[in-house]
């Protein structure tokens, strides 16, 4: 029985990115050893596509782009960021233009208190600088600790408050907000076009517009004061209409992927298709074939799987699925009609993927096929695109 390689296009956030301890010269600063980029060069690279993706949301909200100001509202228990901008009437009302799923974040309800606690901070923060060379595609810095955080830390006698809180791409994080690469391209471009001085983020434990503040076990006494201030800050963020265009409606990487692959020593060639079911699940099918002397093999392999870890453009994946193999042996003599058989088995594959040139990817994989009579290891390589 012949095996086949795997394709994977989704991610599972394992908390491998130590954002909260990265700092300006730490894990979030150098990307793939490439030449140092600037904000301007990243906008030249990603800005046009990001603005085109944002345009329908601003048109639906009736707001010109770029807006006069931007408020991001991060709701921790919903893993969601809303984008609010001033309305067209100049009367101080705000319009909801878009929302995005947060692909990964750590911690729970409650403010960040110290370095290494894994908490996403809660409060009203400026977005004060960009990192165009992030190891997580692109990133923006949240100015935690702010004056409120520092004042209460001093009163509590706390000194090591932590920092380097980023809004970034990819989908792994500890203490930061990982948005996925296409979402951070849009947010990075939006904030850059609007201006850092006119951009801010409000981070709340729950949606304080519709729910009371949570009771956080072990939280300091001043948490009630913080939540009262946050409830006041989010009160103007109420949508009358129109409905926001959501990040989930344009979930990326793109849902569809196609690839070609070469498998094993026998010279299998295959075509595959994958579909992203959710940010953490995918399904696909591949058809592979080979000819060896008078023998022909044709395999059909549906599969499901997940990406176990990702760092920048590199990802480790695993998938599992059944495999059907049709085997034809042509007869070299008239006295024998030849042989045709169909076997079924299961295939477990693990491998490595590298993304390049925006929508292209390459993979190498190792599979184990468990058949009726044998267990066969199999290697493969593939190249594909996400249209």
Q: Which residue among the candidates 137, 141, 152, 168 is catalytic per the annotation?
A: 168
Per-residue b/e over 340-359, b at no fewer than 16 CB within 10 Å? eeebebebbbbbebebeeee
Q: What is the DSSP letter of 247?
A: G
DSSP conformation class of 335: T
For 316, phi then psi, to 5°, come to -110, 130
Identify the active-site residue in 176, 256, 326, 327.
176
- Tell me the pairing of strands 94-101 and 123-131: unpaired
Is the Cβ–Cβ distance between 361 and 383 less than 8 Å? yes
Using an 8 Å Cβ cutoff, are 200 and 39 in contact?
Answer: no
Residue 176 annotated to the active site: yes
DSSP letters, 101-150, are: E--B----SS---STTS-PPP-EEEEEEEEETT-TTSSEEEE--S-HHHH
Q: In the annotation, is 256 catalytic?
A: no
Which residues participate in catalysis according to the annotation? Answer: 168, 176
């Amino acid at each position: 029985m012949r095996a086949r390689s795997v394709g994977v296009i989704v991610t599972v956030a394992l908390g491998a990115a130590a954002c909260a301890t990265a700092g300006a010269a730490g894990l979030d600063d150098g990307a793939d050893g490439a030449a140092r980029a600037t904000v301007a060069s990243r906008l030249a690279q990603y800005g046009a596509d990001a603005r085109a993706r944002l345009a329908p949301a601003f048109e639906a909200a009736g707001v010109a782009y770029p807006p006069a100001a931007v408020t991001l509202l991060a709701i921790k228990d919903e893993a969601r960021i809303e984008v609010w901008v001033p309305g067209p009437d100049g009367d101080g009302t705000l319009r909801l233009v878009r929302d995005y799923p947060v692909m990964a974040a750590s911690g729970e309800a409650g403010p960040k208190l110290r370095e290494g606690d894994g908490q996403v901070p809660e409060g009203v923060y400026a977005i004060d600088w960009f990192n165009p060379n992030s190891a997580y595609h692109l990133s923006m810095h949240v100015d935690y600790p702010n004056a409120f955080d520092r004042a209460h830390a001093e009163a509590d006698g706390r000194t090591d408050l932590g920092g380097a809180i980023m809004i970034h791409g990819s989908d792994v994080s500890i203490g930061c907000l990982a948005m996925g690469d296409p979402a951070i391209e849009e947010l990075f471009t939006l904030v850059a076009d609007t201006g850092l001085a006119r951009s801010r983020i409000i981070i709340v434990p729950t949606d304080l517009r519709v729910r009371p503040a949570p009771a956080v076990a072990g939280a300091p006494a001043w948490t009630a004061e913080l939540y009262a201030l946050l409830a006041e800050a989010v009160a103007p963020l109420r949508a009358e209409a129109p409905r926001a265009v959501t990040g989930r409606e344009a979930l990326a990487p793109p849902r569809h992927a196609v690839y070609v692959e070469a498998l094993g020593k026998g010279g299998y060639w295959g075509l595959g298709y994958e579909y992203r079911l959710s940010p953490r699940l995918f399904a696909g099918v591949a058809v592979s074939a080979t000819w060896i002397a008078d023998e022909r093999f044709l395999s059909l392999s549906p599969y499901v799987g997940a990406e176990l870890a990702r760092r920048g453009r590199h990802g480790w994946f695993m998938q599992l699925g059944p495999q059907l193999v049709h085997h034809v042996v042509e007869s070299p003599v008239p006295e024998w009609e030849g042989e045709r058989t169909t076997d079924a088995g299961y295939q477990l594959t693990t491998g490595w993927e590298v993304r390049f040139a925006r929508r292209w990817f390459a993979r190498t994989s190792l599979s184990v096929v468990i058949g009726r009579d044998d267990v066969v290891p199999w290697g493969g390589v593939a190249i594909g695109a996400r249209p």
